[in-house]
Structure 1
């Protein structure tokens, strides 16, 4: 009995070591690819400042779009590897939701314009900060924006907005598009690993699985509302910072940032 337990423990440790080694290897590969790819993008963005013919400008925007998608895929693979090896470190801190959304608009505005899609950010009400790991939330929203851009036809619209949660303990961020929508069957398996939905010929099928993983790691919730031909709306509910005198559900001292590993 003792020998069998010892053997199981040894095999479990070997598996953990193997997963950790794979995570280290993937991290190294992603870094080696990411550095030159970022350099290519920065060079193209510098070229855009020059006076160029419209057709060249259009092609440069296409290159930026493809490089953005590739970088996002690399981050998804790396996040998945870190999560499965128990080495996904999060550092939550208070972040104003309007700041996150405006940065998203700045980052994806040119890509949306290139595709002929109207990216809209309505004025946000006065909201408390959210307690999140900022880089992981950036990747969640980037995945949702890339998916929305892939699903929304030219002349369509993508709206990103923040609202107070129903119980005032959360802030809700919504990414809604006027794309093709999703069937009930697709919605049932939407957040599963390697699941492709609206744009089946593109992507790795990891994006929404990573979104769910990162949102839940930040003590939040994610869900989607959609119907075929009527677009889709992805909702993120994230914990609000509790501040003294902020009203029901938000009293108490500010939540102190802490580092967690899952």
Structure 2
């Protein structure tokens, strides 16, 4: 009887141990399933937040670009109005002359052809300006490719010309610069902002004493260096470390949002480049941009945004 009692107790203990092991295993499996579900939910949340951040960053870059276009609206209107004036004037002259009776002389025909050629030249100027604006203001597809940096610099300088010409001479050198890997619209946004900052650092009215230089050249290794320098007021030492921070600006209220240089820095960083600055109060400022040269091995892919 004692032996049977011990055997029964041992069997009950074994059953109890098996039940505890089964319960522990079930709890572990349940916990593992819950953990997997939690991790999946967390990963999906991270993906959604990352996508939202990238979209917000893209909207910020595009908004800053449109703000720059808005600041240029008056000067762009002036640039378009001038050629339109002599287009309309020359076309009106030719129309009046054609309405006259009689056979035109060879001299009159030459004058008509000259007037039409001038009208065509003016229309071409308008077309090129609109083309430059389309490059800057088009929706940002963030695609990267081989970019003709010289063409980008020329577009940026033409759009900034009206702000520059009343303040300084523009000296530009970009011949023979290799193509870089990046996004043309974003790079145009960067150099337009840098040129406008250079112009705004110079007081209007002393063009002969001031100069803005836009120089691009092949750097060390597979890099291209672009310098935007001016002879303006310069930046105080205490502000140099803060100029790339969002919303920091030394411009008067309503002139700058404080996003321009911050956005420029993010764009260049996203392109695998560097943006640095040197300045001395009263002697001017130089911004240096370093960008990677495009190679055949680089695929066309979206340029990531840096948060």
| Both structures adopt the same fold (TM-score exceeding 0.5) | yes
Aligned pair 1:132/2:182, yes or no?
A: yes
The Cα shift of 1:18 comes to 11
User: Do 1:148 and 1:179's aligned partners in 2 also have CA atoms closer than 8 Å?
Assistant: yes
**Distance 1:231-1:258 versus aligned 2 partners, 3 A rule:** same
User: Does the CA contact (< 8 Å) of 1:172 and 1:235 recur in 2?
Assistant: yes
SS in 1 for 2:190: helix
Structure with the larger RCO, 1 or 2 (CA within 8 Å, 6+ apart): 1
Where 1:121 maps in the other structure, the secondary structure is strand
The CA RMSD over aligned residues, in Å, is 4.0
Q: Which residue is equivalent to 1:48?
A: 82
Gap regions ≥5 residues in structure 2: 1-30, 87-132
Report what 2:242 is aligned to.
Answer: 189
Q: Corresponding residue for 1:58?
A: none
Q: Could you tell me how far apart the structure 2 residues matched to 1:46 and 1:126 are? A: 30
Distance 1:37 1:103, change over 3 A: closer
Partner of 1:171: 224
TM-score normalised by length of structure 1: 0.65
Greater Cα radius of gyration, structure 1 or 2: 2
Alignment partner, residue 144 of structure 2: 92
Contact 2:271 2:303 in 1 (8 A): no
State the distance in 2 between where 1:146 and 1:233 align: 13
SS in 2 for 1:180: coil
Aligned counterparts, 1:1-262, within 5 A: 9=42, 16=49, 23=56, 45-49=79-83, 50=85, 90-113=142-165, 115-122=166-173, 124=174, 126-154=176-204, 155=206, 156-165=210-219, 167-197=220-250, 199-201=251-253, 202-242=255-295, 253-262=296-305
1:25-58 CA distances to partner (integer Å, 9 max, x unpaired)? x68x96xx88x969x767654432326xxxxxxx
Per the TM alignment, residue 105 of structure 1 is displaced from its structure 2 partner at its CA by 2.2
Q: Number of residues paired by the alignment? A: 210
> Could you state the TM-score of these two structures normalised by the residue count of structure 2?
0.56
Q: Is the 8 A contact 2:223 2:291 kept in 1?
A: yes
- In the alignment, the residues of structure 1 paired with residue 46 and residue 290 of structure 2 have an alpha-carbon distance, to the nearest angstrom, of 36
1:17–1:171: structure 2 CA closer, same or farther, 3 Å change rule? closer
Between Structure 1 and Structure 2, which shows a larger proportion of helix residues? 2
